[in-house]
Each structure stands twice: as C-alpha cells, then as structure tokens.
Amino acid sequence: MVTGVLIATGLATGAVLGGILQENLAARVQQASGQASARVMGLEGGAPGATSASAALEEGGLLAGALLVVWSPDGEVSGAYADDGRTVVPLSDQQVGSVVESELGPTGGTIEIPGLGAYRVAARPAAGHIVVAGLPDSEVTDTVRAIAAAAAVVTGIGLVALALVVGGVIRHSLAPLRSVVTTAERVARQPLATGTVAITDRVPERGLDADTEVGRVGMALNLLLDHVDSSLSARADNEERMRRFVADASHELRTPLASIRGFSELGLRALRDQGPTEATNQTAESLTRIESQSKRMTALVEDLLLLARLDEGRELSLERVDLVRLAVECVVDARPVGTEHHWRLEVPEHALEVLADASRISQVMTNLVANARIHTPPGTTVVVTVADIGTGVEIRVQDDGPGVEPQMVDRVFERFARADASRTRRTGGTGLGLSIAAAIVEAHQGRISLDSRPGCTTFTVWLPNGPLDRTE
C-alpha cells in the first residue's frame, strides 16, 4: 500500500510538473512567435520587410534550439534554427515541409520535426506573411525525466528504510506474542491427563499490557492457565478424596463383614463339634452378634446411599416446617440416651417455619446433637438454640466440652473424617454424620459452620426462610 501511494504520488507530481512546464514552454513560444513576427515586419530593430527566417533569427537574441519558419505571400517558405552553439542552420525542405503541413491551432501545438525531434510551435500572421516560431520540447521532457528518476530513487530508498523500520517495529510489537506462543507450547507438552499436575508456566510480566491487543492476549492466557491450574488441583483433590472415601468405606464395610463371617463360622463349628443341642446357646449369641453387625453395615450403606442421592441433587420433599418443634423433639429424644449430659433448649415461644424437608432437617439436628453427646465427657452442657436472624433461621448446637482438635476444624465435614488415623473408634458410628448434615444443609441452599475452642464448640446451621431457588 505504501509503495502504491508513493508511486502514485510520484506520477501525479511528474504529471503536474510536466503540465506546468508545458504551459511555461507554450508561453515562451508565443512570446518568441510575437518577437519573430515583429522582426519580419521590420520592428524592434529588424530589417524592414525581411522575409528570410535565417535573417529574422540572426536579428534577435538567439536561444539554443530556437526554430523559425517564414511563409511569404508569394508562396516562398524559408526556415532555420539555432543549434546548441547558437549558430543559425537552415532547415531542409523535408523539415520545412513537416512544419508547413502540420495543422496548428490558435495556441499552437507540438509537432515532430525530422532530425530535430519534438518542437512546441506557434503560428502568427505578419504583414501578409505567416511566421511559425518554436522551441524544442526536449527541455520539458528532460526535466520531467530527471524529476521522475530522482523521485524513483528517493522512493526506493524510502521504501527500503520504511521496510526496515516497519520490520523492526513489528518484531518489537510481536515479541510479547512470541512469549505467548512459547508459553502455550510448553504447556501443550505437559502431560495433563494423569498424575499430579501443576501448570507453573505463565507469560512473563513484560509481555502483559492492558493497553495493547497482544498484551491483553497474554493476560487472557495467564487467566486461562490460572483457571486450568486451579481446576486440575481441584480434580486432584477430588480424586484423592474419592480414593480416601473408597478406602474408608471399604474398611467400614469390611469390619462388620469380617464379624459376620467369624460368628457364622463359630456357630457352624459349634453345631458340627457339639451337636445341635449343646450348641444352642453359643449359636444364639453368634446370631445376635451377626444381627448387630448387619445393622451397623445397613446403617453405613443407607448413609452412603443418602449421600449419593444428595450429590445427584434429587428433589427434596419440601413443606412448611416448624424448626422450634423439631428442636424440642430432638432434645427430648437425646435426654434418655445422654443422661450424663446437661441439656438446655433456647427457642422462642412462637413457631419459626421454613420451606424444607422435615425428615432431613430433623436428621441434621439429630446428627449434631449425637455428635455433641458422643464426643464430650459426662457432665457437659449441650445447648440447642433456634432463632430468627432476619435473613433466615439459625440453629445452633453448643457444648462446653474440650473442643475439636485444631487440625480437624477444616476437615470435620468431610466424609469419614476423624482425628484418629488408626480407624478405630469407641463409638461404633459410621463417621458420616457431619458430612450428611452438611450435604442436607447445602441441598436446602443453607450454610453450616463450626467454631471450636476449648470450653466452647458451636455448630451453626443457617436456613433461608424464603422459597428455594430450584434453578441452581
């Protein structure tokens, strides 16, 4: 485009300048024609009645290349021109004929004279004579050619310089883009399908600029890599939790299954060794233990099934539920099994209703109260509170026990989370109570949190008191 513009500019400049030079030449030819006519008529010091073109040229100041043709009334034609040495040279008959035979308008024109080239000429009558004066057109063409050559050289030099400058500017401007490409290629070579993955490559700071398109591309790539890196980390964490979950679930199921198998073999051995009559008592005890372990395994399977259904986002049976009534029922049920604890209920006298699944919310309260009873020593005071806080209804289960170990506070709602890494517990629970409570609360678009320190541990559940947004 720049080349085309420069060439067009050069051609236009040459054309305009050529036109101006042609106008100046035409004006000079008209002036020379007038002077020649005056000389032919004996004016301006010329010889009176002179009809010779050579004499007329010699009378005036000679210009190199000036041409004059005089056509007398009797039909005699003479012509001459001044060569480069300003010597008057007669024109040949052919040269004179080319002038005479040319059709010249009032303003004259350009004709080709054999042996002399192109001439700008003009004709004018003078005392019955016709005087044709002319100047060579080579003056204009040589000037235009010189200017065109100079413009071509300058244009060529300018284009080379422009190419070098533009190339340097483009390379400098695209340097950040090369950083983007290099970073993308390094990331593309990383194995992201398996193993622990961390994307540490980023576009360097020098390639980031919010004011340029290339800089914004680098910023967008860094943002994308941050998102992918966090997503891969979350995926790795999920896989690790899933492996831990499968291991914990397998262990929890293996324990009752091993007990069932052991007691079954013990009963069969008693029947085989002692006979049906003598083995009755031992068989009955084995069946009792088998039933106990079967119930434990059934509870674990039901908890896992509930978590799976909550993870799938299955619909809840929503209705207007009075949380005050559920809290009262939960504390009433907890007192007979927690006789060594002190139970206190702090609820308003009026009902506090929310749109929820009554059985699931009751399960949340039961799990939180059971957790406080199981993991605190005798004599601990447990306070169950239900309050309206404007944006929703808040349920708090607080105890003055020893508190949760600091390293467990952030993991207490994870599945099978426990402080004892040996997997042995005196409670006989499945280790899913708090994770089930958290899943149920989240399914109701609520929040559950833990604040624990020695002497004060508080589980807080917040539930919205308006309709649930089922589009989430």
pLDDT, mean of each 10-residue run, the chain (472 residues): 81 82 77 68 47 65 70 75 74 79 69 82 74 79 82 86 88 82 85 74 80 84 87 77 69 71 71 60 69 73 71 73 93 91 92 89 91 90 92 92 84 68 46 82 90 91 74 46
What residues have CB less than 8 Å from 172, skipping those under 6 apart?
none
* C-beta atoms surrounding 260 within 10 Å: 19
Residue pair 98/74 in contact by the 8 Å Cβ criterion: no
Of the candidates 106, 91, 108, 104, the one whose C-alpha atom is nearest the C-alpha of residue 29 is 108
Residue pair 159/6 in contact by the 8 Å Cβ criterion: yes
Of the candidates 364, 354, 358, the one whose C-alpha atom is nearest the C-alpha of residue 392 is 354
Question: What domains are there in the chain, each with its CATH number?
Answer: 2-145 (3.30.450), 191-314 (1.10.287.130), 319-464 (3.30.565.10)
**Residue 120 pLDDT:** 81
Gap between the Cα atoms of 308 and 312, Å rounded: 6
**Residue 394 pLDDT:** 93
**Residue 422 pLDDT:** 40
**Residue 305 pLDDT:** 73
**Residue 425 pLDDT:** 45
**Residue 106 pLDDT:** 58
Of the candidates 392, 387, 395, 393, the one whose C-alpha atom is nearest the C-alpha of residue 349 is 387
Q: Is the pTM of this model over 0.75?
A: no
Residue pair 450/409 in contact by the 8 Å Cβ criterion: yes
**Residue 429 pLDDT:** 53
Gap between the Cα atoms of 174 and 220, Å rounded: 16
**Residue 368 pLDDT:** 92
**Residue 47 pLDDT:** 45
Q: What is the DSSP letter of 431?
A: S
